[in-house]
């Protein structure tokens, strides 16, 4: 029972992290009709920036804030220099160009930081276990990830649904030409949205950094998970991304935790321990296949354009 609570929290935490990544991806796709494979690279850069700045400043919070700003600036610069020339092009062109960027970022990181991974040590006040219910302890850092991600999700909701900028973003998602014709500086809006997406990816990366090693290619596997999420949730829908992210986070984590034991009840022990790792990695892809068969547009499709 205790294990179940803990693993569910882990799943929730992972799901929220995935949401930050998927939200940026789906925002950029929904509004700019732009497929950005390099989104995972921004996630990686966020983690590398955090590890570097925290080491420089000797302050966890300051370092992380600087890393967030740096990823935001990097995203804006990227949009300004290269990606804005790809809007309105074929999706395939965008996939290829941003694939090139992944290659570039991976080698740039190897050149600057070296091939070995970095680690981002946590400050002491974040390592204490917190008693959430009597008898159940949970690491404070993971709890704070949940809190920060929920706060960001709420903030995103308020910004998109209640503010003028959010109104423009939603208007841009439903008809780009029209809001351009109404005198809105659409180029600026796109740059802002892209920067926002980059910052969200960076935030996900730097929050994940203390849990995993900061290493080259860390953005790629998680990027594919983010894709799975926006396909399940419906491309362009932030609400869908949120639901699907939590769902995928829980299924992936719980599957890895409990599938081996579950399989052992039906299969022989040896067969179960061979099949379980592969099967639990496959679970979410199976889920996606099922969703696509039943609802090819995803579970919460954005309004038709």
Partner 1 sequence: MKSPINARNVVVALTALGLLLLPAYSALSGNIFILTLFTRIVIFALAAASLNLIMGYGGMMSFGHAAYLGIGGYAVGILAYEGIGSGFIQWPVALAVSALYALVIGALSLRTRGVYFIMITLAFAQMAYYVTSGLSRYGGDDGLTIYKRSNFGGIIDLSNRVQFYYLCLACLFGGIYLIWRIVNSRFGMVVQGVRSNEQRMQAIGFHANRFKLVCFVISGTICGLAGALLANNTDFISPATMYWTRSGDLMVMVILGGMGSLFGPVIGTIVFLVLEEVLSQFTEYWALIMGPLLLLIVLFARGGIMGVLGRVTRD
Part of the chain binding partner 1 (CB under 8 A), chosen from 3-11, 159-167, 190-198, 284-292: 284-292
Part of the chain binding partner 1 (CB under 8 A), chosen from 43-51, 95-103, 119-127, 150-158: 95-103
Part of the chain binding partner 1 (CB under 8 A), chosen from 64-72, 102-110, 150-158, 206-214: 102-110
What's the 3-state SS for the chain? CHHHHHHHHHHHHHHHHHHHHHHHHHHHHHHHCCCCCCHHHHHHHHHHHHHHHHHHHCCHHHHHHHHHHHHHHHHHHHHHHCHHHHCCCCHHHHHHHHHHHHHHHHHHHHHHHCCCCECCCCCHHHHCEEEEECCEEEEHHHHHHHHHHHHHHHHHHHHHHHCHHHHHHHHHHHCHHHHHHCCCCHHHHHHHHHHHHHHHHHHHHHHHCCCCCECCCHHHHHHHHHHHHHHHHCCCCHHHHHHHHHHHHHHHHHHHHHHHHHHHHHCCHHHHHHHHHHHHHHHHHHHHHHHHHHCCCCCCCCCCC
Q: Using CB under 8 A, pick the residue from 2, 4, 62, 103 that binds partner 1.
A: 103
Applying CB under 8 A, does 267 fall inside the site for partner 1? no
Applying CB under 8 A, does 135 fall inside the site for partner 1? no
* Window 54-93: residues binding partner 1 (CB under 8 A): 82, 85-86, 89, 91-93
Shortest distance (Å) from residue 159 CB to partner 1: 25
Shortest distance (Å) from residue 303 CB to partner 1: 17
Applying CB under 8 A, does 261 fall inside the site for partner 1? no
Shortest distance (Å) from residue 6 CB to partner 1: 25
Fill in the per-residue mask, 210 to 249: x = in contact with partner 1 (CB under 8 A), - = not in contact: ----------x---x--xx-xx---x--------------
Applying CB under 8 A, does 116 fall inside the site for partner 1? no
Under 8 Å CB-to-CB from 235, ≥6 apart: which residues?
A: 26, 29, 30, 298, 301, 302
Applying CB under 8 A, does 121 fall inside the site for partner 1? no
* Window 148-167: residues binding partner 1 (CB under 8 A): none
Shortest distance (Å) from residue 266 CB to partner 1: 17
Applying CB under 8 A, does 104 fall inside the site for partner 1? yes
Q: Using CB under 8 A, pick the residue from 102, 149, 200, 302 that binds partner 1.
A: 102
- Count of CB atoms situated within 10 Å of the CB of 63: 21
* Window 8-47: residues binding partner 1 (CB under 8 A): 29, 35
The binding site for partner 1 (CB under 8 A) comprises 29, 35, 82, 85-86, 89, 91-93, 95-97, 99-108, 110-111, 220, 224, 227-228, 230-231, 235, 274-275, 277-279, 281-282, 285-286, 288-289, 292-293, 296
């Amino acid at each position: 029972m205790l294990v179940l609570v803990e693993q569910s929290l882990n799943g929730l935490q992972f799901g929220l992290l995935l949401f930050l990544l998927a939200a940026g991806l789906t925002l950029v796709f929904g509004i700019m009709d732009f497929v950005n494979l390099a989104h995972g690279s921004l996630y990686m850069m966020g983690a590398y920036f955090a590890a570097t700045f925290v080491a420089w400043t000797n302050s966890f919070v300051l370092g992380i804030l600087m890393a967030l700003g740096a990823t935001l600036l990097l995203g804006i610069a990227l949009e300004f220099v290269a990606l804005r020339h790809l809007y309105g092009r074929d999706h395939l062109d965008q996939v290829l160009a941003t694939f090139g960027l992944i290659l570039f970022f991976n080698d740039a990181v190897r050149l600057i930081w070296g091939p070995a991974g970095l680690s981002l040590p946590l400050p002491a006040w974040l390592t204490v276990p917190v008693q959430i219910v009597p008898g159940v302890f949970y690491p404070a850092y993971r709890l704070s990830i949940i809190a920060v991600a929920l706060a960001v999700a709420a903030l995103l909701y308020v910004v998109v649904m209640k503010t003028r900028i959010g109104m423009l973003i939603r208007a841009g998602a439903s008809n780009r030409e029209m809001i351009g014709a109404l005198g809105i500086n659409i180029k600026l809006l796109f740059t802002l949205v892209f920067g926002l997406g980059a910052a969200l990816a960076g935030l996900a990366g730097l929050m994940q950094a203390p849990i995993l090693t900061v290493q080259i290619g860390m953005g790629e596997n998680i990027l594919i998970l983010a894709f799975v999420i926006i396909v399940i949730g419906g491309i362009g829908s932030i609400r869908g991304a949120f639901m699907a992210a939590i769902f995928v986070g829980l299924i992936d984590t719980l599957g890895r935790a409990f599938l081996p034991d579950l399989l052992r009840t039906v299969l022989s022990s040896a067969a179960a321990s061979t099949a379980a790792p592969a099967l639990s990695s496959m679970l979410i892809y199976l889920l996606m296949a099922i969703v696509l068969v039943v609802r090819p547009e995803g579970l919460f499709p954005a309004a038709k354009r």
